A and B are shown apart, each in its own frame.
Chain A
Amino acid sequence: MSIVESELETLVGVNESNELEVLNNNALENEAIYILREVAAQFEKPVLLFSGGKDSITLVRLAQKAFFPAKIPFPLMHIDTGHNFPETIAFRDKLVKELGVELIVRNVQDSIDQGKVVEETGKYSSRNMLQTTTLLDAIEEFKFDACIGGARRDEEKARAKERIFSVRDDFGQWDEKNQRPELFDMLNGQIELGQNVRVFPISNWTELDVWSYIQKEEIEIPSIYFAHKRKIFLRDGFIWSAEDDVVFRAEDEKVEERMVRFRTVGDMSCTSAVLSHADTIEKVVGEIRESKISERGARIDDKRSEAAMEKRKQQGYF
């Protein structure tokens, strides 16, 4: 049975004397729903960029809420680096089937095969940067005018300045000095042919907000977010997965088995794990609340230089 159908069932016999006091509980949810509806109304060909991570899974739930009882009125697109955790891909396929929405997959491997990008080599090699080319090609191929993403302003300093509707030129570039002011609730999605808008409905959510929402809404997420036994190795104080040959490992880097979980689910080659025994959503929320390391602190792609994210964004990265 699809998710939509099962929700129709819960609709039968609801308590009509309920007072809707959602604002008091979750202003962020109401804001995100408003933004998603603006996207559907203002753009001709929007798409939701889906990575299989908790932020994009949260976006999908918000989109369900925004358009109920209709289906989500735009497709999902995954830019697959080929280095995803297998758990994420399995989860993605299951979710799409349940939702009954279209899933578009475009592969970084194809961009490599076409000679458009060159695979990095060495100790810190990653396909994270290469995604940009594949993404921009896909935007052009499908003529998408709005790409909805799960980026949040609390993730990183350059993201803290990004707008909710962030205009990109036809090279996919972000001009951080020439951003449109966003006033009150009004979102200006007027663009020229060839431009597109990156839309960030959960801009104002923090990592803890997302986790609390997943807990409250009982949203299913991939198993790697919970503590599990994994073969890992240590480098520069980071914990890397050693279960596959995606992450470069030098011979002297010793493999051991530990209880770990992932706080973000990016490309395997740039996503490190944290030691954890949090195997339920309650324990994960508790752990985030106490956490002393920021979420992107576990992302080696941001560590390359202090201005790493800003430079990637100017080149069209999400």
Chain B
Amino acid sequence: MEVLKIATAGSVDDGKSTLIGRLLYDTKSLTDDKLEAIEKTSKQKGYDYLDFSLATDGLVAEREQGITIDVAHIYFSTPNKSYIIADTPGHVEYTRNMVTGASTSQAAIILIDARKGVIEQTNRHFFINNLLRIKDVIVAINKMDLVDYSEERYNGIKADFEQLMSKRDYQDQKITFIPVSALKGDNVVNRSEKMAWYKGQTLLEHFEKLDRKDIYNIGTPRFPVQYVIRPKTAEFHDFRGFAGKVYGGELSVGDEVVVLPSMTRSRIKDIYFYNKKYKTATRRTSVTITLEDEINVSRGDMLVKAGDLPTIDKQFTATVSWMDSQKLTVGSKYVVQHGVNKVLAKVENIHHKIHPDYSGIDTSITALGMNDIAQVTFRLNKPIFYDSFKNHRTNGSFILIDNQSNTTAGVGFIN
């Protein structure tokens, strides 16, 4: 079954949790015991409606504050598709969570409160979804019930948002506007009777119709080697299989490949998935590849098609989204994890900070704090094999690990 992961973003109180709860309710994904718990708690709180946000707000701390503080994953399915929603919080200080949620998603929902219209937060959500090059974005204009389902109001907000769209870097991003009321259930799963003026699809209809070509960019195949399989049994005495996931394109038996960094050439002999051999491995399959020649290949090496090499360099510049309370400064050292490959890196230069609300750049900064986004140049202790993020979402991204705390301190998108 096809799996579609959707990142959601919104500000406090614009009804994101309610929207997700509504999606679950109208697709009949809420089980009786969960529904019962929602009814019970809604009544306790004295609400005269069902508080669907209770279906998703997971942690005790969040329930106490009434806000979502981390990325939560919500699952539901239709006969057609399985959906995973990465629900990320919308406060200023949680840019890192939005980036995280968007990094594994193929589509995104940006929520706007119809009473408030486009606010600074909207700019940020849009900026991040565009930075992460999410191909399909829905702008859901919510709480239409509170503006009398006004078409004029909807058109006004749409026009404001279109102003923003002209500033975006990734122009091919597809953007669809939908007027909804999550609380009342208009245009989420079911068509709204109150907004006959809206002729487009409901939120769910839109996602149901999304095709693989609508959400994936087809690039060139890259095969980072995760693990070398050497069974050393009688039957598989000389077996040397390279286990990994195929990214960006397809690899087939007989393809001439180059092993990086050794630049050794060989051909693909066999492609295994478990105990069966296949002619072609499509993108994002976890396969095991054997080569015609006996070549020394280890974890962190990469197989690519001959004539289709990535950039091999000890230096690169990237847009970095910083996620740690310890600041990133010029001269400091980190571990760069690029796919499954790890190298040491030194911050060579911080060029400028980018305001994620489209208000411009700041060239005066010398350090990056939590939630900052900036252009940074790194120098590495040995070369890595990368593409620009624009051309390859997987091979163009990396994480920065703090060697003292071991935490994932940031993420980068290579220019």
Contact = CB atoms under 8 A, between A and B. Distances in A.
B275 A69 contact: yes
A183 B99 contact: yes
Interface residues of B, number: 80
A40 B286 CA distance: 15
Given A37-B243, A208-B77, A293-B32, A186 B399 contact: yes
B60 A292 contact: no
Interface residues of A, number: 69
A198 interface: no
A15 B401 CA distance: 44
Q: Name which of B33, B34, B393 has the most chain A CB atoms within 10 A of its CB.
A: B33
A64 B231 CA distance: 12
Contact of B286 (A11, A34, A306): A34
A158 interface: yes
A66 interface: yes
A183 B103 CA distance: 6
A19 B280 contact: yes
Interface stretch (A89-97, A173-181, A268-276): A173-181
A209 B75 CA distance: 11
Main DSSP-derived SS at the B contact region: mixed
B34 A294 contact: yes
Contacts of A20: 271, 273, 278-282, 285, 287
A188 B245 contact: no
Contact of A160 (B74, B244, B281): B74
A113 to B, nearest CB: 34
Interface string B55-86: 01111110100000111111101000010100
B408 A11 contact: no
B296 interface: no
Given A10-B275, A23-B283, A184-B393, A38 B229 contact: no
Interface string A1-42: 000000110110011111111111111111101100110110
B197 interface: no
A307 interface: yes
Contacts of B281: 20
10 contacts: A18-B279, A24-B282, A34-B245, A37-B243, A41-B227, A68-B288, A157-B56, A157-B59, A183-B399, A184-B103
Given A7-B275, A14-B275, A22-B273, 13 more contacts: A19-B280, A25-B1, A27-B3, A41-B340, A161-B59, A177-B70, A179-B70, A183-B103, A183-B399, A191-B406, A209-B82, A294-B34, A306-B37
Among all A-B residue pairs, the 9 with the closest Cβ atoms: A157-B58, A20-B278, A33-B286, A70-B231, A297-B33, A190-B406, A65-B274, A294-B31, A181-B100
